[in-house]
Structure 1
Amino acid sequence: MSFCDTIWQDVAPLRRAILAQPFLAELADGSLPTESFRHYMLQDSLYLAEYARVLAIAAARAPTAAGRLEFSDGAKVAVQVEQALHQAFFVQFGVTPEMARQAEATPACLGYTSYLASLAATRSYEELIAGILPCFWVYWEVGCDIKPRAVSPNPYAAWIDTYAAPSFGEATDRVRALVGEAAASATPTTRAAMATAFRNATRYEWMFWDSAYRRETWPI
């Protein structure tokens, strides 16, 4: 079994917990409170700004042309998506420029982005890209899971369509292939570290949606 197949099975309980999130269930049936989705959008905008930086570092560290191209393109898309949030979703869901300027990363958002930044700054390229992968792969699974059961019309249809789109699945496949290629030539110790990075990032994915549903703020 390939490295990616193994770690995907390893996090199966986490993936089931993500798909069972009330945030996603209510997003699919259109009943998710606007306030929760607004909270998610603001945090996602902050996340994407930092994720783009991490992808750019991965591109700079990539040992192959394919890796440099994929991660540099990914960084560009993350910036474009962040800008699109301001132009479309923010307008649709009543996020004002002032709200966007004043938004502060929640513990879940700051924890996730700081973890990825620490991988980029202090760990191997292999660990870094393993930590990057869940943001692609988990979202692709979520999009594919929600799309068939989403009600129509749905106020969140554009979000659902984005992550269920074949083009997003193709991007996921390319990043997964890069991680598999890196794992194939890595030592057992490095592969174990890659699995830990993938698992931790998947945990943060669960935490991100949970915090959005609860509209998490700092407790003190």
Structure 2
Amino acid sequence: MTFTKIAREEAAFYWEKSFEHPFIQRLAAGDLESEIFRYYLLQDRYYLEHFSKLYSKIAEQTNDQEAQQQLKENAENLKLGEMAIRKEFFSELAISDQEILETPIAPTAYHYVSHMYRQLVDGTPNTAFAGMLPCAWLYQEIGVRLIETGSPDSLYQRWIETYAGEAAAEGIKKECALLDRLYQESLKKEQQQMIQAFVISSKMEYAFWEMAVKLEKW
């Protein structure tokens, strides 16, 4: 079987929990508290900052030319797309630089980012790349599920639309095909590490919604 099929099946429980999580359900219903969404954005800012850096770091370390090109493309798309939209959200919600500085990084955000960096220390560029896939792929699937009904809240609707478009779907399809090839070309130990990195990241995605709803602190 392919990497994406195996990994997706092993992480299925946590993906379903993400789809059903109150954060997602209430965002779609339009009644997610602004305080929770603000906290999510503040923690996600930290996460995306390092997510972008990781794309570049993995690209520097991989010897696979196609992977290197894809990682650089992902980093650029992140800056032009998701991160740019986040800046608009920050402006509309009046989230200041001072608030960003004064908001501590939550344990889950810290641990998720640390997990991804660890793949480059204890693993390989392939395991690190595999550990980054759940974020983009899960969000894309959430976007597709929610866009059918949308959200009555205009801000939450724009969040949904960010991940529901054809460009996002094509990007995920391309990335999955690439990781499937890298997996097939890897030795068994590295294949196992790739699956494990993917599954842990999937667990952390679920934990991220929990973090936001609970306004998690140390």
Do these two structures clear the TM 0.5 threshold for a shared fold by scoring above it?
A: yes
- C-alpha distance in 2 between matches for 1:33 and 1:108: 20
- Note if 1:130 corresponds to 2:125: no
The Cα of 1:98 is off from its aligned counterpart by: 1.2
Is residue 82 of structure 1 aligned with residue 83 of structure 2?
Answer: yes
Consecutive unaligned residues in structure 2, runs of 5 or more = none
What corresponds to 1:22 in structure 2? 22
Is the CA contact 2:123–2:193 (under 8 Å) kept in the aligned structure 1?
Answer: no
**Would the aligned equivalents of 2:30 and 2:151 in 1 still touch at CA under 8 Å?**
yes
2:58 paired residue number: 58
Judge conservation of contact 1:49–1:79 (CA < 8 Å) in 2. no
Q: In the TM superposition, what whole-angstrom CA distance separates every residue of 1:8-64 from its partner, at most 9, and x where no partner exists? A: 112111111111110000000111000010001111111011111111111112323
Matches within 5 A, 1:1-220: 1-80=1-80, 81-86=82-87, 88-152=88-152, 154-218=154-218
1:209, distance to aligned residue in structure 2 (A): 1.1
Native 8 Å contact 1:127 1:190 kept in 2 = yes
AA at the equivalent of 1:188: K
Deviations, residues 127-180 of structure 1 (Å, cap 9, x unaligned): 111101111111111111111132345331111000111111111112212211
Q: TM-score under structure 1 normalisation?
A: 0.93
Q: Which amino acid aligns with 2:83?
A: E
CA distance in 1, matches of 2:40, 2:153: 21
Gaps (5+ residues) in structure 1?
none
Aligned partner of residue 95 in structure 1, secondary structure = coil
The question of whether the paired residues in 2 share the 8 Å contact of 1:108 and 1:207 is answered with yes
Mapped partners of 1:155, 1:122: distance in 2: 39
- For residue 213 of structure 1, report the CA deviation from its aligned partner: 1.2
What CA RMSD, in Å, does the superposition of the two structures yield over aligned residues? Answer: 1.5
Aligned positions, number: 217
Equivalent pair of 1:54/1:120 in contact (CA under 8 Å): no
Partner of 1:140, secondary structure, is helix
> Do 1:14 and 1:202's aligned partners in 2 also have CA atoms closer than 8 Å?
yes
Between the aligned partners of 1:150 and 1:59, the Cα distance in structure 2 is 36
Q: Distance in 1 between matches of 2:102 and 2:83?
A: 16
| Identical-residue share of aligned pairs (%) | 24
Partners of 1:121 and 1:170 in 2: CA distance: 30
| 1:69-109 Cα shifts (integer Å, max 9, x gaps) | 111122223344435423x1012223122112223211000
Structure 1: how far apart are the matches of 2:153 and 2:16?
26
| AA partner of residue 13 (structure 1) | F
CA distance in structure 2 between the aligned counterparts of 1:83 and 1:98, rounded to whole angstroms: 19
- 8 Å CA contact retained: 1:120, 1:128: yes
